[in-house]
Each structure stands twice: as structure tokens, then as C-alpha cells.
């Protein structure tokens, strides 16, 4: 798998001179944003969506959000006996 730096380098044309640095930084910022975890206190995943869930201890699991997973604006799932603290969408191809 390529590193973020390798992907950014391939994404940015070499002949862009000073614009290349801006494009390179923008690419890396986009990757960083896409890799952020979303707090369940800020936002909840949609029912039926496939997501990564992370509990309070950092344990991660892939789940599809079922109808009973979200109730009254709260995420009811636990992983390993601990409440889910964060989530991240995953793209299913």
C-alpha cells in the first residue's frame, strides 16, 4: 500500500512548480480529513450504513447499522462490553 506522501506525489503533476506544493498539501489535508473518527456525541451513522466502530478502549469493529443500533438519538451498540465512542464511514465497492 502506498503512503500518503507517495499518493500525493503521484497526484500532483511535477510541472506545477509552486502550485505543486499547494496541491500536495491539499491532497494530504483531504486524506487526513477522510481518516478522522466522528464522535457519537457529534453525529451518528445512518441506519443501514456500513461503518467502522471504535469503543472507549480503542477496539475497532466493522458493523452495519441495524434498526435497533440507533435509538432516541443514541448509539446503543457495545464492542467488547464497552460503549462505542467513535465511528467512521467505510466505502463498499
Q: How far apart are CA 34 and CA 66, in angstroms?
A: 23
Nine cell digits for residue 86: 467513535
Q: Identify whether residues 12 and 49 lie together within a single domain.
A: no
**What average pLDDT is seen over the chain?**
76
pLDDT of residue 58: 84
pLDDT in tens, 38-76: 988 888 888 888 888 888 888 888 888 775 566 666 676
At residue 13, the pLDDT reads 63
With a CB cutoff of 8 Å and minimum separation 6, the contacts of 91 are none
**55 CA to centre of own chain:** 14
For position 89, what pLDDT does the model report? 85
Question: pLDDT by residue (tens digit) across 21-42?
Answer: 777 777 778 777 777 899 888 8
| Full domain range(s) for residue 81 | 38-89
**74 and 56, same structural domain?**
yes
Tell me the pLDDT band of 81, cut-offs 50, 70 and 90: confident
Same domain, 47 and 22: no
Overall domain count for the chain: 2
84 with 60, same domain? yes
Amino acid at each position: 500500500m502506498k503512503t500518503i506522501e507517495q499518493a500525493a506525489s503521484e497526484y500532483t503533476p511535477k510541472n506545477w512548480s509552486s502550485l505543486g506544493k499547494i496541491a500536495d498539501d491539499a491532497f494530504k489535508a483531504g486524506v487526513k480529513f477522510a481518516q478522522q473518527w466522528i464522535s457519537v456525541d457529534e453525529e451518528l451513522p445512518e441506519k443501514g450504513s456500513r461503518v467502522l466502530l471504535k469503543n472507549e478502549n480503542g477496539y475497532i469493529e466493522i458493523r452495519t447499522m441495524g434498526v435497533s443500533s440507533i435509538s432516541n438519538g443514541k448509539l446503543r451498540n457495545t464492542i467488547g462490553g464497552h460503549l462505542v465512542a467513535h465511528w467512521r464511514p467505510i466505502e463498499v465497492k
